Amino acid sequence: MSGENSHHLHTKKKQTKWRALLIANLAHFIHDGFTDMLYVFFPIWQSQWALSFGEVGLLKTLVSGSMALFQLPSGNIANRLGPIKLLVIGTSITSLAVLLFGWVTTPFLLGCLIIIGGTGSSVQHPLSSSIVSDAFSDIKARRSALSALNFIGDIGKLALPAAAAFLISAFHWQSACRLLALFGLIIVLILAFLASGIDLPDSNFPHGGNKPVKMKLLLGWNGYQAFWALSIIGIIDGATRMAFLTFFPFLLYEKGAGVTMVGIALTLVFAGGATGKLACGVLATRVGILRSVILTESFTAICVLGMIFLPLPGAFLLAPILGIALNGTSSVLYGSVPELVSEKERSQAFSIFYTAVLGSGAIAPFIYGLLSDLAGLKSTVMIIAFMVLLAIPLTVPLRGKFE
C-alpha cells in the first residue's frame, strides 16, 4: 500500500511539473505575441487618426511603461492570490483589452486600453519564470525548463505579428483585434483548466510565501563600476531595440511594403532574434563577453543603417541578421549580471538591471518619435544606429571581470 502511495505521489508531482510548465509556456506565448504584434498595428493607427511619430512612440511607451511599472506590485498581489491564479487573471485582462481595441474610436481610448493590456501583461514575466522555477527543483531540469519557456515566448513573437498582418489584409484591423483576442480568451480557458487542482511547492521567489520580501536599493558606484557599466550598456541596448522596432514598419512602408510584407519582415526579425539568443550565447563562450558585446552592437548599427539605404528586397534579406544582432546583446548582458555581484546581491542586481532596461525601452520610442517629427524618420533611425555605438566604450570598465 505504501508503495502504491509513493508511486501515486511521484506521478502527481510529475504531472504538476509539466502542467506548471505548460501554463507558463502558454502565458508567455500569448503575452509576448500580443505585445509584439502591436508593431504591425502602429502604422495602421497612425493612418487611422493622423498621429505624429511622437504620438506613435507614446503608444509604445504606454505599453512598455505599464508592463515595467506593475511587475513588482504583481509579486505582492500574487502573495495573496497565488501566482497561477494571478497569471490567469492577467491574461484575461490583456485579452479583453485587445478585444476592445476593435471598438475604439479615438486614440485616447486606445491609449487607455493599451495601459490596461500592459498592466495585465506585467504579471507574465516574473510569474511564469517563478512558476517554472518552483515546479522544477533540480537545477539542470530547471534550466532546461526556463530555456523552453524563453523559446516559447519567441514563438509567440513570430506567430502573432504574422497572424495580425494576415488578418488585417484579409479583413480590417478591428476584426483582426477581435479574432486575436478570442484566441487569447481560449488560452485563458485552457490556463484555467490546467490550473485547477495544481499544487506547487512553496516559492522561494518574491511572490511566494506569506511574508512580504523586503526589497532594498542596490549598491553605490564605488566597487560596482562594472555592474553599472553593464547596466548602462543594457539601457542603450534596450532603448535601441524598442525604438527601432517601433519605427521599422514605417521605414518599410516608405519603401513600398504592404501590411502583409511588414508582418513577414517582423517575423523574420523575431526569428533572427530567437536564433540570436542561442548564437550569441555560443559566441560569448568562444570569443568572450566583451568581444561579443562589441561585435553585436557594431552589427546592430550596420544593420539599422542598412535598413535605411537598402531597397525593399535587400531589407528583407537583412531582417533576420538584424534580429540576431538586436537580441544577441541582451542575451549576453542578462547572463553576465551574476558575475559582477555577490550571491546575496543577485536578486537586487537583476531587479535594477531589468527595471533599467525596461524603463529605457519604454521611454525611448516617445523621445525618438518626437525627434522623427522634427528631423524626419530616416534621420532619426540614423541617430538610433549611432547611439548603439556608445555602448562600446562602456566595455572598458568590464575588462578583466569575466575571466
Residue 69: band (very low, low, confident or very high) from pLDDT cuts 50, 70, 90? confident
d(CA 222, CA 283): 31
259, 193: one domain: no
pLDDT score of 107 more than 70: yes
- Average pLDDT of the chain, as a whole number: 82
Domain end marker among 175, 201, 227: 201
187, 260: one domain: no
The residue-averaged pLDDT of 303-311 equals: 93
389, 348: one domain: yes
195, 271: one domain: no
Assess contact for 337 and 23: CB atoms under 8 A: no
- The grid coordinates of residue 373 equal 517629427
Q: Please write the tens of the pLDDT for every residue from 174-213.
A: 999 999 999 999 999 999 988 876 665 544 444 444 444 4
DSSP states of 119-154: HHHTTHHHHHHHHHHHH--SHHHHHHHHHHHHHHHH
Contacts of 201 (CB under 8 A, 6+ apart): 134, 135, 137
d(CA 319, CA 222): 41
The total number of structural domains that make up the chain = 2
Q: Please write the tens of the pLDDT for every residue from 343-400.
A: 666 656 666 777 788 888 889 999 999 999 999 999 999 999 999 888 888 877 777 6
Could you tell me if residue 173 is inside a domain? yes
Per-residue model confidence (pLDDT) at position 165: 92
373, 272: one domain: yes
235, 384: one domain: yes
Could you tell me if residue 289 is inside a domain? yes
Domain end marker among 141, 169, 201: 201
- The grid coordinates of residue 301 equal 548599427
Q: Could you tell me the residue range of the domain that residue 71 belongs to?
A: 1-201
Per-residue model confidence (pLDDT) at position 204: 42
**Ramachandran quadrant class, 256 (left: phi over 0; alpha: psi -120 to 50; beta: rest):** left
Domain end marker among 153, 173, 201: 201
How many other CB atoms are there within 10 angstroms of residue 8's CB atom? 10
Give me the residue label for grid cell 525627434. 371
Residue 392 sits in a domain of what CATH number? 1.20.1250.20
193, 296: one domain: no
Cα 402 to its chain centre, rounded Å, is 26
Give me the residue label for grid cell 505575441. 33
More confident residue, 94 or 208: 94
The residue-averaged pLDDT of 211-230 equals: 59
The residue-averaged pLDDT of 128-135 equals: 75
250, 183: one domain: no
134, 229: one domain: no
More confident residue, 30 or 344: 30
Q: Please write the tens of the pLDDT for every residue from 259-298.
A: 889 999 999 998 888 887 777 767 777 777 788 888 888 9
154, 273: one domain: no
Assess contact for 219 and 388: CB atoms under 8 A: no
Could you tell me if residue 212 is inside a domain? no
Helix axes 225-254, 346-375, angle to 10 degrees: 40
